[in-house]
Amino acid sequence: MDLQKVERVYSNYAAVYDHIFGRIFHESRESAVRRLHILPDEQILEVGVGTGLTLPLYPQYCKVVGIDLSPGMLTKARERMRTHRLENVVLLRMDAGQMEFPDNSFDTIMAAYVVTAVPDYRKVVTEMIRVCRPGGRIIMLNHFSNGNKLIAAVEKVISPLCKHIGFRTDLALSTVLEGTSLHIARKEKVNPLRFWHLVECVNRKTGSAAPSH
């Protein structure tokens, strides 16, 4: 996958995304946000905000920035933002692999169904670590290859096909985190079919603990 293809695929999805994927993944999204225990004035970045399905789930007392590469997805997200009068939300078109934020800008970063849907997951993870303050949280809600040899073999076979519709199936969490400053604080399987993982990581990079706003 390249950036142009990802943008094209997800812009094509924009009109039907909520109908196809909204209900299927809503429970896991809701669970992910509910378990964040967000503090007042917490600075949150949602990477790959899509049509904004999670935006109404955040409490109004925090500040949320949502980024996405797809203009079509962002159009839908802005409609949802207006419908729910989400004055604490800002939406920006941005490449997650080359973010335009200063270092340590956010307390918490949410990436739902993103890591396996980008051309270079390493660049995206590196950028999330950079813009997340030391001691902050990075939450990934995603399918990761689970190490089962039979399932892994199937995932490897179908991964090239899945890339054509915008995601890959053969990426392991250990591969994503290898060599990074991220420490797993919590990991659990979530619906649908408990095939997806909710992974909360603490950013153990060194530097000032205060976010730079």
Q: Judge if pTM exceeds 0.85.
A: no
Distances (CA, A) of 161 to 122, 165, 174: 21, 7, 23
CB count, 10 Å around CB of 198?
19
Residue 126: DSSP 8-state: H
> What digits encode the pLDDT tens for the residues 60-114?
999 999 999 888 889 999 999 999 999 999 999 999 999 999 999 999 999 988 8
Domains and CATH numbers, the chain: 3-203 (3.40.50.150)
Average pLDDT, the chain: 81
Helices (H) and strands (E) in the chain, counts: 7, 7
3-class DSSP state of 111:
strand
Among residues 95, 99, 135, the alpha carbon closest in space to that of 118 is found at 95
pLDDT 10s digits, 16-65: 555 555 566 667 778 888 889 999 999 999 999 988 989 999 999 999 99
